[in-house]
Amino acid sequence: MGQEIELKLTLDEKALADLPACGPFAHVDFAPAPPKKLRATYFDNAKNALRQKGVVLRLRDEDGRLIQTLKGKKAFGSLAAGRAEFESRIPKTRTKPDFNRLPPDLKKNIQNLLNGSGVEPLFVTDVDRTIGMLETDTGDSIELALDRGTIRAGRRETKVSELELELKKGSPASLYRVALDLAETIPVRIGVRTKGERGYALANALGPKSVRGELVQLSKNATVDEALDQVLRHCLAHIVANEPALVDTADEEALHQMRVGLRRLRAALAVFAPVLDKDMLKEVNAHARKLAGLLGAARDYDVFRGELVGPLKESGDENVRRLDRAATLEQINAWDLALRAVSSTEFTRTCLTLALHIEEKSWRKRAALDPKTAMILAMPARKFAERALTKRLKKVKSLGSNIEHLKLSERHELRKRLKSLKYAVGFFSALYPKKQVSKQHKTLSELQNVFGSLNDLAVAEEIVRTLTEKAKGTPSEVQIANGGGRVLGWHSAHADLHWTNAAKAWSEFRGTASFWRG
């Protein structure tokens, strides 16, 4: 099978029409009108067995030629991920895929996935494609495909307006450089979902979904250089994968998952700070912190209204209901700011910039000037992980040893240190026996849950103060204050019960052997 490496960008129809004349592409000779007609029909069985394994099977009419295409699963961890692809020309009279055109091993794999069932057409894409070739100053060749059209599944339909940059020769880094140049000229979004993924969602009447971060896959003998590359890729992919569900449907879980992705990214930057380019570290960390703050505000109001105020709303207490109405307005404002930030060109540029750093492996520039950095990058990732995890464990234990007498500010600090340790464990867990990792990860999660509930209460106290202050001098001030007092009082009692489990959870965690020292 061949290898396809492409980066997809989405933009509105006007921007797509203006794109050939914009700065980065001004010297590109796009194919003259009329554009190339591409009509593709996608196939699967009734259970979507191929989609569940990330496989795409389609027949596409390309100006009179019928091309059968089989694509493998996209790799998680890169915006311009390589994807295996096998194409064959088949007679135009065919209305269904011809598995005999596949190599024997691929044919057998597909038939096994389908488990004896046949395939049926699920949706159709009708696209007008204009193509141009871009030759970069560094000798890279990139095919630019401007696609406009529709995706149809039964009576449902959605528009296509996107640019695909497919690498024909050179480095994947060139795709990000071109995309960044373009983002300086017109507003674009990173095209997270393929036409096939959008078609499946349309056929099943589903919107984009939130995505949890996948485990970082590392070989047992990985170097620090390889581990850094994979960890950053997975953090970035986790963030970007949640953009469609967040921007298009304002999905609460997508906001939460993107926030987790940003936390993981900042934790990764801290873990690998000894070898990262200082300017890159400062730039990416600043953007991640800013966006995490905006998402965090929206998430705090989601938790406040859903988990803290929610259980008391049916009590009939008008003070609680007034508190909830005031919180709703702030929640709407916080969400508006979060959605604006994720929809912005700044978000796109930040993600593309980080992707470029990863593809260029910018940390190697520092290594070329600093022998110590070069030595660290070349060392086994397990050795580096032992140092990083031990350092974070010591910070946790320095506070946790006095867990029964911690002040509120110290509890908050211990929670952050636990989270930092947990993320670091996740980065390196593939290097160690799964059973050992799971045991410590479980006790770490249990301990963190105790602190999570306490943090929710601390955030709630701040929200109540904010809402009361904003209502100062109005008839609602007393109601909001009284409603806040009842909510905080009710949950404080529950938090005290949670805190009684802290010593037990800490004892279990402390008694679990550090798997990385085995």
Domain boundary among 154, 188, 206: 206
Give the CA dihedral 491, 495, 496, 497, nearest 10 degrees: 100
Asked whether residue 214 is assigned to any structural domain, the reply reads no
**Contacts made by residues 455-460, CB under 8 angstroms, sequence distance 24+:** 455/412, 455/415, 456/303, 456/304, 456/307, 456/308, 456/491, 457/308, 457/488, 457/491, 457/492, 457/495, 458/408, 458/412, 459/300, 459/303, 459/304, 460/304, 460/308, 460/487, 460/488, 460/491
- Binning pLDDT at 50, 70 and 90, where does residue 230 land? very high
Instruction: Kindly state the tokens that stand for 486.
Output: 């009842």
Asked whether residue 211 is assigned to any structural domain, the reply reads no
* Type of residue numbered 346: E
Q: Write the Ramachandran bin of 109: left for phi over 0, alpha for psi from -120 to 50, otherwise beta.
A: alpha
For 140-158, how does the pLDDT look when each residue is reduced to its tens digit (9 = 90+)?
999 999 999 999 999 999 9
For 74-120, how does the pLDDT look when each residue is reduced to its tens digit (9 = 90+)?
766 667 766 778 999 999 889 999 999 999 988 999 999 999 899 99
Sequence-ordered strand ranges (E) for 154-236: 156-169, 189-190
Contact between 219 and 262 (Cβ < 8 Å): no
Task: Identify whether residues 202 and 245 lie together within a single domain.
Answer: no
Task: Identify whether residues 465 and 349 lie together within a single domain.
Answer: yes
Asked whether residue 229 is assigned to any structural domain, the reply reads no
pLDDT at 1 over 60: no
Look at residue 432 and give its three-state secondary structure: coil
Instruction: Kindly state the tokens that stand for 70.
Output: 């089989």
Task: Identify whether residues 259 and 325 lie together within a single domain.
Answer: yes
Task: Identify whether residues 487 and 393 lie together within a single domain.
Answer: yes
Q: What is the pLDDT of residue 286?
A: 95
End-to-end C-alpha distance for the chain, whole angstroms: 42
d(CA 122, CA 141): 34
Asked whether residue 218 is assigned to any structural domain, the reply reads no
- Binning pLDDT at 50, 70 and 90, where does residue 492 land? confident
| Range from 213-222, 300-309, 326-335, 485-494 carrying the lowest mean pLDDT | 485-494
Task: Identify whether residues 200 and 340 lie together within a single domain.
Answer: no
Task: Identify whether residues 355 and 427 lie together within a single domain.
Answer: yes
Instruction: Kindly state the tokens that stand for 279.
Output: 């300017």
The CATH number that applies at residue 471 is 1.40.20.10
Asked whether residue 168 is assigned to any structural domain, the reply reads yes
Instruction: Kindly state the tokens that stand for 181.
Output: 């140049």
Task: Identify whether residues 42 and 176 lie together within a single domain.
Answer: yes
What average pLDDT does the segment 252-278 reach? 96
Tokens 């989270």 belong to residue: 419
Asked whether residue 225 is assigned to any structural domain, the reply reads no
d(CA 320, CA 482): 8
Asked whether residue 15 is assigned to any structural domain, the reply reads yes
- Binning pLDDT at 50, 70 and 90, where does residue 61 land? very high
pLDDT at 228 over 70: yes
281's enclosing H/E stretch is helix 278-303
For 354-410, how does the pLDDT look when each residue is reduced to its tens digit (9 = 90+)?
999 999 999 999 999 999 999 999 999 999 999 999 999 999 999 888 887 878 778
Task: Identify whether residues 176 and 31 lie together within a single domain.
Answer: yes
Tokens 């911690």 belong to residue: 406
pLDDT at 351 over 70: yes
Asked whether residue 217 is assigned to any structural domain, the reply reads no
Task: Identify whether residues 258 and 168 lie together within a single domain.
Answer: no
What average pLDDT does the segment 167-191 reach? 93
d(CA 257, CA 214): 12
Of 191, 179, 6, the residue nearest 82 (C-alpha): 6
Q: What is the pLDDT of residue 168?
A: 94
Q: What is the pLDDT of residue 29?
A: 81
Identify the sign of the CA torsion 489, 490, 495, 498: positive
d(CA 163, CA 8): 6
pLDDT at 501 over 80: no
What average pLDDT does the segment 181-193 reach? 91
For residue 184, with 0-12 CB atoms within 10 Å meaning exposed, 13-18 middle and 19 or more buried, which class applies?
exposed
Task: Identify whether residues 150 and 191 lie together within a single domain.
Answer: yes
> What is the 3-state composition of the chain as percent helix, strand, coil, each rounded to the nearest 5?
60, 15, 25
Domain boundary among 184, 206, 228: 206
Residue 12 belongs to what domain range? 2-206
Q: What is the pLDDT of residue 306?
A: 92
Q: What is the pLDDT of residue 243?
A: 96
Q: Count the domains in the chain.
A: 2
pLDDT at 507 over 90: no
Q: What is the pLDDT of residue 170?
A: 94
Q: What is the pLDDT of residue 76?
A: 63
Q: What is the pLDDT of residue 495?
A: 67
CA 442 to chain centre: 24
Q: What is the pLDDT of residue 440?
A: 81
The CATH number that applies at residue 68 is 2.40.320.10
Identify which has the larger pLDDT, 293 or 2.
Answer: 293
Domain boundary among 206, 224, 245: 206
Task: Identify whether residues 245 and 184 lie together within a single domain.
Answer: no
Task: Identify whether residues 135 and 254 lie together within a single domain.
Answer: no
Q: What is the pLDDT of residue 81?
A: 60
DSSP track, 100-153: GGS-HHHHHHHHHHHTT---EEEEEEEEEEEEEEEE-TTS-EEEEEEEEEEEEE
